Amino acid sequence: MNVDGIENGIVLDHISAGKAMLVYKYLHLDRLSSQVALIQNCTSHKMGRKDIVKISEDLDLDLDVLGYIDPGITVNYIKNGQRVAKKSLQLPETLTNVLACKNPRCITSTEQELPQIFKIVDRSKALYRCAYCDTIVKKEELN
């Protein structure tokens, strides 16, 4: 399969195989009027298999969400068919309105307008703690 390059926009590369749909969902790419290409299970020399997302529009991405979904993602900004910038991601220190606290006693359960804020507590296990009630959330709970 051959998917052409883009003239202007963003290419999200080195996404772990199978995670492109999470990227699509959490970046709300379904709301765009521009072209979006999801390429899943590409052959990769480094990773074996990977996913790629190409967006033919320059938009403001939530890099914290991307870093949480997969810290290995690289973000390539394309202008006139050439890469003009490249960013490598890592797990963010704070996540806001990405995760939801599952503790029924947490204030966010009753005060719906409060932002859902989580702080990282263990990078190696990707564990985050609710800023309000200290409930721990594991990365696997992202859906």
Closest to 116 (Cα-Cα) out of 75, 59, 68: 68
End-to-end CA distance of the chain: give it in Å, rounded.
Answer: 29
Contact 77, 92 (CB under 8 A): no
Main-chain dihedrals φ then ψ at residue 139, nearest 5 degrees: -60, -30
pLDDT, tens digit, 9 for 90 and up, residues 61-108: 889 989 999 998 999 999 998 999 999 999 999 999 888 899 999 999
More confident of the two residues 112 and 92: 92
Residue 2's pLDDT band, with cuts at 50, 70 and 90, is low
94-141 belongs to CATH 2.30.30.20: yes
Q: CA angle at residue 129 from 126 to 130, to 5 degrees?
A: 140
pLDDT of amino acid 58:
85
Please determine, for residue 127, whether its predicted confidence score (pLDDT) is greater than 60. yes
Alpha-carbon Rg for the chain in angstroms = 17
Place of tokens 């966010």: 108
9-88 belongs to CATH 3.40.640.10: no
pLDDT of amino acid 3:
63
Using a pLDDT cut of 90, give the percent of the chain over it. 52
Mean pLDDT (the chain) is: 89
Contact 66, 27 (CB under 8 A): yes
Rounded to an integer, the average pLDDT of 32-54 is 88
Contact 9, 60 (CB under 8 A): no
Rounded to an integer, the average pLDDT of 4-23 is 89
Hey, where are the domains in the chain? Answer: 9-88, 94-141
pLDDT of amino acid 15:
92
* Range 92-96, long-range pairs (CB < 8 A, 24+ positions): 92/63, 92/64, 92/67, 92/68, 92/120, 93/119, 93/120, 94/64, 94/118, 94/119, 94/120, 95/64, 95/65, 95/68, 95/128, 96/64
Q: Let me know if the fold of 9-88 is the same as that of 94-141.
A: no
pLDDT of amino acid 41:
87
pLDDT of amino acid 109:
87
